[in-house]
Homo-oligomer: A and B are copies of this chain.
């Protein structure tokens, strides 16, 4: 069994993941708009190239490559240069095309992988697959096959998914969480009249992982994971309460 780790290069996150993702796994990153899903994905690709010598692909179903160049450049990651050097390929496509391509022999994606020696991929975002069918069971089959095709190509993937709810949980999870190997959640949390960001590794197949809900920031160097939240109940609701202990502590100090 292969327990080789694929480091994200994000310090606190690799630690939470017990060293990184497992090789050839599909890893879901879910969050509301602005939580940093795409940034996390780009950082995974960037660190793969500069730290692990692993070329990467970005498959996008909406944004233009220019947008990724700009967004990455804001963190000092020169995606355009990487692409020229054959270390990165941003593929703008559709769910329809990409799933047929990846599942066929000698398709475009497979060709890029062979040419580049790509080992990592970000799919931004899986939410666009919902346009393929109204039937949740069909959708699950499509997603399952797509994910397995990525694995067969020897890729470790980050799959982003958009959460339609700004604070707290979506009323109902679709099936993707059951199909992936790991499941990371990015969440907004309102604490002391400000919005902070929280990161949680909910699930990780075949590996131990941190159970803490950690704070993180998107800084000029990308995602930076910080310590866990303290003294709060109900963080995942997005609107936590200060705990009784904190109350008592405050009471005593006064």
Contacts and interface: CB of A to CB of B under 8 A. Distances in A.
B32 A177 contact: yes
A26 to B, nearest CB: 12
Contacts of A131: 137
Interface in A170-200: 171-175, 177-180, 183, 188, 190, 192-196, 200
A236 B196 contact: no
A50 interface: no
A34 interface: yes
A11 interface: no
A204 B74 CA distance: 12
B234 A202 contact: no
Contacts of A213: 190, 193-195
A62 B144 CA distance: 8
Given A74-B206, A190-B235, 20 more contacts: A33-B180, A34-B202, A34-B203, A34-B205, A70-B206, A74-B207, A130-B137, A162-B178, A164-B173, A190-B213, A190-B234, A193-B230, A195-B213, A196-B211, A233-B241, A234-B239, A241-B241, A244-B250, A248-B254, A251-B254
A188 B167 CA distance: 16
Interface in A39-75: 62, 70-71, 73-74
A169 B169 contact: no
A148 to B, nearest CB: 8
Interface string A108-144: 0000000000000000010010110000010010001
A1 interface: yes
Contact of A242 (B70, B162, B200, B233): B233
Nearest to A36: B203
Contact of A167 (B169, B172, B183, B252): B169
A173 to B, nearest CB: 5
Contacts of A240: 233
